[in-house]
């Protein structure tokens, strides 16, 4: 009787071992499927503050600022100063345009 009991215990143990191996294999397979099904995080684009520059009423009001920054030199003619001021305004407007389109 003891041998038949031992054979029965070994049979049950073998079944349990095979079943637990199958469960572990299924569990690890589910983890792999879950990892594969989880989408990668999407990089977010930081929000940019795109405020339009106010319209310039008097371009000559910008002259002192551009003189202090060194863009306008005292020896420049009025036409040269005007060209520098207009270029400054154009650059500001272009920066806003690029920001608004999402290029910057």
Tell me the pTM: 0.49
pLDDT for the residue numbered 12:
67
Same domain, 2 and 39: yes
Domain match, 32 and 64 both:
no
- Give 65-88 pLDDT, tens digit per residue: 999 999 999 999 999 999 999 999
Can you give the residue range of the structural domain that contains 35?
1-43
Q: Which residue matches tokens 């054979």?
A: 7
Q: Is residue 94 part of a domain?
A: yes
> Pick the residue with more confidence: 32 or 104?
32
pLDDT score of 62: 94
Closest C-alpha to 62, from 88, 41, 44: 88
Counting the structural domains of the chain, the total is 2
In a domain, 38, yes or no: yes
CB crowding 36-59: b at 16 or more within 10 Å, else e = eeeeeeeeeeeeeeeeeeeeeeee
Q: What is the pLDDT of residue 6?
A: 63
- How far apart CA 95 and CA 26 sit, in angstroms, is 57
């Amino acid at each position: 009787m003891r041998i038949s009991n031992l054979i029965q215990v070994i049979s049950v143990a073998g079944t349990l071992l095979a079943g637990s191996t199958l469960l572990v294999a299924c569990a690890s397979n589910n983890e792999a499927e879950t990892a594969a099904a989880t989408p990668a995080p999407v990089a977010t684009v930081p929000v940019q503050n795109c405020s339009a520059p106010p319209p310039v009423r008097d371009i000559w009001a910008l002259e002192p600022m551009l003189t202090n920054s060194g863009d306008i030199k005292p020896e420049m003619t009025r036409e040269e100063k005007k060209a520098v001021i207009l270029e400054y305004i154009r650059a500001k407007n272009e920066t806003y345009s690029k920001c608004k389109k999402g290029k910057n």
